Amino acid sequence: KAGVTQTPRYLIKTRGQQVTLSCSPISGHRSVSWYQQTPGQGLQFLFEYFSETQRNKGNFPGRFSGRQFSNSRSEMNVSTLELGDSALYLCASSLDSANSPLHFGNGTRLTVT
Protein backbone atom coordinates (compact mmCIF):
# COMPACT_ATOMS: atom_id res chain seq x y z
CA LYS A 1 0.00 0.00 0.00
CA ALA A 2 1.52 3.32 -1.04
CA GLY A 3 2.13 5.84 1.73
CA VAL A 4 1.36 9.54 1.80
CA THR A 5 3.06 11.19 -1.17
CA GLN A 6 4.07 14.82 -1.15
CA THR A 7 5.35 16.72 -4.16
CA PRO A 8 7.67 18.33 -4.77
CA ARG A 9 10.27 17.25 -2.20
CA TYR A 10 12.20 20.50 -2.44
CA LEU A 11 11.22 23.97 -3.54
CA ILE A 12 13.09 27.26 -3.71
CA LYS A 13 11.08 30.44 -4.11
CA THR A 14 11.69 34.15 -3.88
CA ARG A 15 10.02 36.49 -1.41
CA GLY A 16 6.68 37.72 -2.72
CA GLN A 17 6.04 34.70 -4.91
CA GLN A 18 3.39 32.11 -4.27
CA VAL A 19 3.70 28.35 -4.05
CA THR A 20 1.46 25.30 -4.24
CA LEU A 21 2.29 22.04 -2.49
CA SER A 22 0.56 18.76 -3.21
CA CYS A 23 -0.36 15.78 -1.08
CA SER A 24 -1.77 12.41 -2.13
CA PRO A 25 -3.15 10.52 0.86
CA ILE A 26 -3.16 6.80 1.40
CA SER A 27 -5.92 5.18 -0.62
CA GLY A 28 -9.18 5.22 1.32
CA HIS A 29 -8.12 7.99 3.69
CA ARG A 30 -10.49 10.95 3.63
CA SER A 31 -8.87 13.19 6.21
CA VAL A 32 -5.82 15.22 5.20
CA SER A 33 -3.95 17.54 7.56
CA TRP A 34 -1.07 19.93 6.99
CA TYR A 35 1.70 20.91 9.41
CA GLN A 36 4.59 23.33 9.28
CA GLN A 37 7.87 22.25 10.89
CA THR A 38 10.58 24.80 11.68
CA PRO A 39 13.54 24.69 14.08
CA GLY A 40 12.20 27.66 16.03
CA GLN A 41 8.47 26.93 16.24
CA GLY A 42 8.51 23.15 15.95
CA LEU A 43 5.50 21.39 14.47
CA GLN A 44 2.46 23.59 14.03
CA PHE A 45 -0.96 22.63 12.71
CA LEU A 46 -2.07 24.49 9.60
CA PHE A 47 -5.42 22.97 8.65
CA GLU A 48 -7.35 19.76 8.15
CA TYR A 49 -9.67 18.76 5.34
CA PHE A 50 -12.27 16.04 5.36
CA SER A 51 -14.53 15.25 2.42
CA GLU A 52 -13.46 18.44 0.64
CA THR A 53 -14.37 20.65 3.63
CA GLN A 54 -12.00 22.40 5.99
CA ARG A 55 -12.72 20.90 9.40
CA ASN A 56 -10.02 22.50 11.54
CA LYS A 57 -7.77 25.50 11.14
CA GLY A 58 -4.63 26.56 12.96
CA ASN A 59 -3.37 30.04 13.75
CA PHE A 60 -1.78 30.98 10.47
CA PRO A 61 -2.43 34.10 8.38
CA GLY A 62 -4.78 34.05 5.44
CA ARG A 63 -1.81 33.76 3.06
CA PHE A 64 -1.92 30.06 3.89
CA SER A 65 -4.80 28.26 2.27
CA GLY A 66 -5.68 24.79 1.20
CA ARG A 67 -8.22 22.65 -0.54
CA GLN A 68 -9.15 19.03 -0.98
CA PHE A 69 -10.41 17.37 -4.11
CA SER A 70 -13.05 14.69 -4.51
CA ASN A 71 -10.35 12.00 -4.68
CA SER A 72 -9.05 13.24 -1.27
CA ARG A 73 -5.86 14.67 -2.75
CA SER A 74 -5.04 17.99 -1.17
CA GLU A 75 -3.09 21.10 -2.03
CA MET A 76 -1.89 23.94 0.11
CA ASN A 77 -1.03 27.36 -1.21
CA VAL A 78 1.09 30.09 0.31
CA SER A 79 0.86 33.50 -1.28
CA THR A 80 3.17 36.48 -0.93
CA LEU A 81 5.96 34.35 0.48
CA GLU A 82 8.04 35.65 3.37
CA LEU A 83 11.47 34.50 4.52
CA GLY A 84 9.85 33.07 7.64
CA ASP A 85 7.78 30.68 5.54
CA SER A 86 10.90 28.59 4.94
CA ALA A 87 10.05 25.27 6.54
CA LEU A 88 9.32 21.61 6.08
CA TYR A 89 5.63 21.22 5.25
CA LEU A 90 4.18 17.89 6.29
CA CYS A 91 0.96 16.31 5.13
CA ALA A 92 -0.80 13.55 7.05
CA SER A 93 -3.77 11.39 6.17
CA SER A 94 -6.13 9.31 8.24
CA LEU A 95 -9.06 6.96 7.90
CA ASP A 96 -10.85 9.19 10.37
CA SER A 97 -12.46 6.31 12.20
CA ALA A 98 -12.16 6.17 15.98
CA ASN A 99 -8.52 5.86 17.07
CA SER A 100 -7.17 5.74 13.52
CA PRO A 101 -3.63 7.11 13.46
CA LEU A 102 -2.21 9.84 11.26
CA HIS A 103 0.17 8.73 8.53
CA PHE A 104 2.70 11.39 7.58
CA GLY A 105 4.45 12.00 4.29
CA ASN A 106 8.15 12.87 4.08
CA GLY A 107 7.35 16.51 3.53
CA THR A 108 8.15 19.32 1.13
CA ARG A 109 11.10 21.47 2.10
CA LEU A 110 10.38 25.07 1.08
CA THR A 111 13.18 27.62 1.04
CA VAL A 112 12.29 31.27 0.54
CA THR A 113 15.14 33.56 -0.50
Using DSSP's 3-state secondary structure scheme, residue 62 falls into: coil
Q: Rule CB under 8 A: is residue 110 a binding residue for another protein?
A: no
The distance of closest approach from Cβ of residue 30 to another protein in the complex, given in angstroms and rounded to an integer, is: 11
Q: ∠ CA(56), CA(76), CA(46), 5° rounding? A: 35
CB of 97 to another protein, least distance (A): 11
Contact 107, 7 (CB under 8 A): no
Separation between Cα atoms, residue 31 and residue 28, nearest integer Å: 9
Choice between 16 and 61, CB closer to another protein: 61
Phi and psi (nearest 5°) for 78?
A: -125, 120
Interface with another protein, residue 92, by CB under 8 A: yes
Binding site residues, another protein, CB under 8 A: 4, 31, 33, 35, 42-45, 48, 50, 55-56, 58, 90, 92, 94, 96, 99, 101-107
